Structures are given as C-alpha cells and as structure tokens.
Amino acid sequence: MTGRLKDRVALVIGGARGIGEGIATRFFEAGAKIVIADREEAVGRETARRLQGHFVTTDISQKADADRAVSEAVGKFGGLDIIVQNAGIFPWTLIENIEPEEWDAVLTINLRGTFLAARAALPIMKARKYGRMVFTSSITGPRVTSPGHGHYSASKAGINGFIKAAALEFSGYGITVNGIEPGNILTEGIKLHRSAAYIKSMEDAIPLGRLGTPRDIANAALFLASDEASYITGTTIIVDGGQTLPEGKDFRIHPDQSS
C-alpha cells in the first residue's frame, strides 16, 4: 500500500464491478477504508469482503438509499472523507425510439444519482471541513457522442455542469469536487453489451491503440481523491487514450514509411 489515502474513509457508489471496483481496489491499495454501495448485492459483498470493507445495498436514484449509504459509512468507520459516484446505465436507443420512461431512467440514475450522492455526503464533509467528491462522467456528452446515446450524453454533460456548480458552492468548506471523463473502457459491461466488431472499431479510433482499463480510471480517481489534488476543483480529467484528439480517421503516423 502506498499510504496516499491512509485511514481515509471512501464510499464508492457503483463499486461492485467494472470501473467502480477498479477505483475501490486502487483506493484500498492506497490505504483507504472502503465502503461499497451498489444494487448488485452478491458481487458487491464479495468486492467489499476482498477489500476488507463494508457493503450497503444502494439504489443511488433514491434519496433514502443515498443517505443510508453515507450513514453506514460513518457508522462503520467513524467518518467520510471521499465519495465516488460511479453508478450509471447506458442503454443504446435512437432518440426517435426513446420512450420517456427510458429517458427518465437514464437521467435519474446517472444525473439525479450524482446530485443525491453529493447532497448526502455534504453535511458530514461540511462539518469536518474536508472532503473529496469524485464523479464518473464520460467523454460521451461533454466532448463527443454517437447515435443511440442521446439520453446518456445528456446525463453526462449534466454531470459536468453539476461538478462546476458544486465545486463553487462547497469550496468554503474544504471540499473539492471533480470528475473523470473515461473514454472506451474494457469492462464486463462493454464485453456483454458491445460486439467484438464494435470493440475493434473503438481500438482503431484510439491513438494509443487500445481500450482503457478500470485501473486507468482508478489512477486518475486516486489523484483527485488525494491531498496532491487539494488545489484542484470544478474540473474533469479526460482518460481516453487520445480518442478525442484526431480531426479525422487518417491520424496515424508511420515513421517507417516514406511520405
């Protein structure tokens, strides 16, 4: 363990698997006491057990669940220093086919969940005059988008706006609020919901030539959660292997070929 988060209490919402599990693991390695909040109880409990932490069943779209997750973190470990809201859904539906119920489901979990997580953690962090809030946004919405992601894009762009407002409002209490914008990350969800052809097309579009890993996102989250980022608030870190950089498809340079 590196000790960068030694004895800090970290609540990771959506931490059972994927990016959230990667963040929780990285925090544990850095010395944090971990609380996993997730709807997936069996997987979440196993992740918490492996990280010597605590699990609480949580639907972050519900205020009572958000409040309970924070309360249990404080009850278990005596405080709360870091909150990560990583829970989110990303159905693929063209705008013309999105029913209002599906739109509401995406915005409720992704965006309302971000607000509820921040609101639940605020009183504890405000009283302690210290806190780190880290929210998982995306390059999809704030930077780029694709067909089928109208509701997802709106939710993630909204998260970026919320980060700025919350950072400003909470700055006087020693609380920083930041986010991470992952590109295409190879998680269980991507493997399950996206074809091999889609994954290959994404690899071809990334200058570094590969999809990211949960560890790539976790390393950025660790920085934002640490005291090394104490003067950073209201911003996001893009972690996308350079995906958002090219102006067009033909961007690769081949030094071994003559011009």
The pLDDT tens digits of the residues spanning 108-141 come to 999 999 999 999 999 999 999 999 999 999 999 9
**Higher local confidence (pLDDT), 236 or 256:** 236
pLDDT for res 16: 98
pLDDT for res 25: 98
Active-site residue, 152 included: yes
Note whether 135 and 163 are within 8 A (CB).
yes
pLDDT for res 193: 75
Does position 159 have pLDDT exceeding 70, yes or no?
A: yes
User: Rounded to an integer, what distance in angstroms lies between the CA atom of residue 150 and that of residue 28?
Assistant: 35
pLDDT for res 202: 87
For 252, phi then psi, to 5°, come to -80, 140
Catalytic residue, chosen from 130, 152, 173, 231, is 152
pLDDT for res 259: 47
The pLDDT tens digits of the residues spanning 183-229 come to 999 988 788 777 889 889 889 999 999 999 999 999 999 999 999 99
pLDDT for res 75: 98
pLDDT for res 253: 74
The pLDDT tens digits of the residues spanning 32-76 come to 999 999 999 999 999 999 999 999 999 999 999 999 999 999 999
Q: Domains of the chain, with CATH numbers?
A: 9-239 (3.40.50.720)
Q: Give me the percent of the chain exceeding a pLDDT of 70.
A: 97
197 Cβ contact list (under 8 Å, min separation 6): none
